[in-house]
A and B are shown apart, each in its own frame.
Chain A
Amino acid sequence: MSFAVNAMLKSPWVFHLSTGSCNNCDIEILDCLTPRFDIERFGMLLVGSIKHADVLLVTGSCNRKSAGRLKTLYEQAPQPCVVVAIGECSLSRGLFIHSYNCPVPLDKIIPVSVYIPGCPPKPEAIIGGVVKLIQKVKGT
């Protein structure tokens, strides 16, 4: 395991990106950070710029206006960067699959490592997903 990956697993910093969501997933992510769930205990921190982040949390159904910018942002991210798709919208676009403004799903735009289903997933599920991600990267 490289030094960078090791450091990342110790304290993954996350950047959160909404690409045309209904807000619920985003609010549940914020909920994870607030006292009841408090994932900051585990070193996870929401940061303000993708350039500081190890994990990219994507919610929403990737509409046309966001999709291009999403790609740019992903290219700016320092590697290794894992992408976590949160909520039905970013998995398959859910209810919005036939929308004229949501042409392609997230995983056709950028590679996705973890899918957390739910509409919205409960904070517990989000935390569960991140734990699985860490185990996967560690290879246990």
Chain B
Amino acid sequence: MRTREQVLKDLQTRFKDDIVDLLDKSPKRVYMEIKPESIVRVGSYIFKDLEARFNIASGVDARSHIEILYHFSLEYINLLISLRVKLDRKKPVIDSLTTEFKAVNWIEREMSELLGIEFKGHPEMKRLLLPDEWPEGVYPLRTDYEEWDKNAIRDRGV
């Protein structure tokens, strides 16, 4: 099995044009920022060739841009690699990883409805959590989300 250094070195040489920034935060955590268009290449390499387990992806609205962090754990070296991509906040679009492995299917659906990120090539993009009457184009996890429902009651009535 590879060691931690070998894995990181391998990633750095193999994807030297794709990596924007690499933050070696602690022995167990590495944050790697890559270009959005490289996600399928890097993501599937880590998942398939490095035999990582896909933990989850977290979408973050960072006010100036939208970020997605794809978390992968490599159990054999006890390392958690988070791939970070930064997307344009006005029109966040990225390629879907679902074609590469199934584990991302649901989380991409979730991010698309809660944060409004478009995943190109996702096979079954439909709502996962929100109800059908939820208005299009309103994304609850965006920082500028405002209550749209005029009938909502927010006091306890006491």
Q: Which residues of A come within 8 Å of B, CB atoms?
A: 63-65, 92, 97-98, 100-101, 103-105, 108
Please give me the residue from chain B that is nearest to A105 by CB atom. Answer: B153
Using Cβ atoms and an 8 Å threshold, which residues of chain B touch A103?
Answer: 149, 151-153
Using Cβ atoms and an 8 Å threshold, which residues of chain A touch B151?
Answer: 103-104
* A97 near B154: Cβ-Cβ < 8 Å: yes
User: Is there a chain A Cβ closer than 8 Å to B2's Cβ?
Assistant: no
Please give me the residue from chain B that is nearest to A108 by CB atom. Answer: B153
Task: Identify B140's interface contact among A63, A65, A100, CB under 8 A.
Answer: A100
How far, in Å, is A135 (CB) from chain B's closest CB? 25
Interface residues in B123-158 (C-beta closer than 8 Å to A): 130-131, 133-134, 140, 145, 147, 149, 151-154, 156-157
* B156 near A104: Cβ-Cβ < 8 Å: no
Using Cβ atoms and an 8 Å threshold, which residues of chain A touch B133?
Answer: 64
* A64 near B134: Cβ-Cβ < 8 Å: yes
Number of B residues with CB within 8 Å of any CB on chain A: 14
Please give me the residue from chain A that is nearest to B132 by CB atom. Answer: A65
How far, in Å, is A22 (CB) from chain B's closest CB? 16
Using Cβ atoms and an 8 Å threshold, which residues of chain A touch B156?
Answer: 92, 97
* A104 near B152: Cβ-Cβ < 8 Å: yes
Using Cβ atoms and an 8 Å threshold, which residues of chain A touch B134?
Answer: 64
Interface residues of chain A: helix, strand, loop or mixed (majority): loop
* A98 near B153: Cβ-Cβ < 8 Å: no
Within the assembled complex, what's the spacing in Å between the Cα atoms of A45 and B156?
A: 33
The 10 listed contacts between A and B (C-beta, < 8 Å) are: A63-B131, A64-B130, A64-B134, A65-B131, A97-B154, A100-B145, A101-B130, A103-B151, A105-B153, A105-B157
Interface residues in B91-132 (C-beta closer than 8 Å to A): 130-131
Within the assembled complex, what's the spacing in Å between the Cα atoms of A98 and B146?
A: 12
Residue among A98, A100, A108 with the highest chain B CB neighbour number at 10 A: A100
Using Cβ atoms and an 8 Å threshold, which residues of chain A touch B157?
Answer: 92, 105
Within the assembled complex, what's the spacing in Å between the Cα atoms of A97 and B155?
A: 8
How far, in Å, is A62 (CB) from chain B's closest CB? 11
Given contacts A92-B157, A103-B149, A103-B153, 11 further A-B contacts (CB under 8 A): A64-B130, A64-B131, A64-B134, A97-B154, A100-B147, A101-B130, A101-B131, A103-B151, A103-B152, A104-B152, A105-B153
Please give me the residue from chain B that is nearest to A99 by CB atom. Answer: B140
Using Cβ atoms and an 8 Å threshold, which residues of chain B touch A101?
Answer: 130-131, 140
Using Cβ atoms and an 8 Å threshold, which residues of chain A touch B130?
Answer: 64-65, 101
